[in-house]
Amino acid sequence: MFDKFKMHGDVSLSWHNKTLEINTTGPWNMEFFEHLHAQLINMVRKQHITDFDVLLNIYGEALPIPDAQNFHIEFLKTSSAKAVAINLAQCDTRSMTKQVCDNVYPAANLDHKCFNTRKQALAWLASKRGKE
């Protein structure tokens, strides 16, 4: 039997000032989250940014397996991210993905909100930074 499965999902990361933009396609398995976490740690260390927010652009079927959700929650609890804006404009599973996000981010003590456009998501992140 195989110990590891092929990673399901794709991700690309980029910095825009103090916003980490994540473009990701689901569905996601545990191997995807292991890869994602390694990429996130690497991006934050390279830029030496410890106080940032996240713009998460989701494409396709964005549904993680339950074990991966718990794994991701534990990872997020150690993150220095301040807020996550989730852009669901290109998500095929908006309602279910929003439910997952509404479970995961509060469990990790992260402020979050879902949006139907990238522009709305960025405006919300800017308003959160303005309150600091």
Residue 132, pLDDT score: 54
**Ramachandran quadrant class, 28 (left: phi over 0; alpha: psi -120 to 50; beta: rest):** beta
Q: Which helix (H) or strand (E) holds 105?
A: helix 94-107
> Facing residues of 37 across strands?
none
Task: Indicate the domain borders of the chain.
Answer: 10-125
Burial class (CB in 10 A: 0-12, 13-18, 19+), 131: exposed
pLDDT in tens, the chain (132 residues): 445 668 788 999 999 999 999 999 988 999 999 999 999 999 998 988 888 999 999 999 988 988 899 999 999 999 999 999 999 999 999 999 999 999 999 999 999 999 999 999 999 999 998 765
How many whole angstroms separate alpha carbon 107 and alpha carbon 68?
14
The token pair at 53 is 């927010």
The CATH number of 10-125 is which of 3.40.1010.10, 3.40.640.10, 3.30.750.24, 3.30.70.2740? 3.30.750.24
